[in-house]
Structure 1
């Protein structure tokens, strides 16, 4: 026996909220059909089938509930030992499988499809799936993740958070992940998504989308790391600086230990701040944040003192007013009202002195001629 035909079907889980792929029957090359018991149909129990390339195609094909496909899979040593015993009897999990025929299977399937209750259930399931699609946008609003615009610090970190949020809301199907992925992209990333949709389509593997996303947007240089490490406190709130520094460092390397994280954050603080913090008391970043919150008054007071010094009134006597005997007045000489008048008088005196010098020179010359 060279190959076996396995029938796969998408079935609802016990709670009815999700689907799973089931292996319902096995057909031999001489058209003998063997049924898999209900409790052993989950494909997760059929490890050797999951590793075959054929199953990958089946997984991409079956998207809707109650869809089914029958495919031939070549016999391997693992499959042979799993589904056949030494006497060529069809078994699974040490149980003999029930044998039936193709005709009996077709009759049973027809009766089941014509059953009014089954038809009602199918309509209910279809309606539920439509409602689930409509609620995807509402579900996305509950995701705790910022949108990706291509400039986020770490594409790897962002993708990890996105996949964890999908798990939290039980979004397991590739098609659902690809569909909701679009709602968290901004700017030029939307163009990238449109291009991928043209190339791959919605009914493709999520792993292909993920791989392309990381190859496109993952930072391959040191710029992000250098910026996170060199980021220092300049002005403003100490706590805001520390929180932002922690975020930058974790985006670069999530696995950084907390002691190193504290040291790097403290390295970017002014000396007059770190001198007031006892390092032995800081075991977690929350302890550092708490300490910085208590020291906020040091940076706010410094700003207040500087502002008061800048607006300090001038206490210089005006020399012009004093010379003109206008009284003692406190203002700059440049803004004095009598400055123009004083300059005019100086110009007149200078002209008079120049004229007198010229006359004296002419008289001396005349005396010499005589």
Structure 2
């Protein structure tokens, strides 16, 4: 090991988890291998090794868990000082490394390869273990098609569910479709069984979209005219976005944001900053803030109304009290009429009400009698004149 430039250090790296790698062994000649104790296995502790380009490349190339790579790096002075003692023995942080027999290394590699093979086989078995056709109705997260839905949207969802449950063959897709059509759509299904059969999925798709696609403007009108009336702002925004996607599946996020905001009341729109809201998620965050603000303002308005109502009652009481005081300062008109001036009390509390009412009645009767007499006089005078 006198000439370090010609020497190489061999490192075996293993992927334990996502973004977690360990050093399974280290060697000078690829025959004798040494391993670190468990506390020093993590490759992040070996910064000198991590700085080497071959090590970085090897780590990037390992894709599967328990995948391994053996890499040779030039044994420079830094690596020699870090992994060898003065006598040229492998060590790390003053701890001697444990030697691994070649057969054990091969056994461990074989175990890793076997584990990978088993996982691949399990994956294939899971793939082949497709959902049984009669179970699709329970397994699929999809409602039945009755022509009320957006046909292209619904059909795309159906195909996604087929892919998710590993229903790949045309015949399987066509058979499964019969569980999701109702009403007059069932007649279309039966006709297509006769015309197309069970082998041409692309023809079934073309037929479905040609027959049931909405070529009018109903969906577009619904999306544009849908506006917020009351209730939750978030619920409104979710419903509006769904309608926008039904009208135009490929619509941009900015377009959907504008459509949602357009349907909001003006007082809510002014609370939303157009430059800051660049994603639907951000829009929902801002709508939650506005919703909380509206709730707080409603509470304040209700409390203000209560305060105004109580103030009104107090003011009304004060006015009544002031009116009573003013009446006490004036002499009673009823007593004054009856000939007792300078009696100060409220007319409502006067003890001479009945006497005053009687006298008033007598006076009114006298006035009526006088008027009647005068009317008779006028009548006589008119009769005499009429004789002339």
TM-score (norm 2): 0.44
- Which fold has the larger relative contact order, with Cα–Cα distance below 8 Å and residues 6 or more apart in sequence? 1
Of structures 1 and 2, the larger Rg is shown by: 2
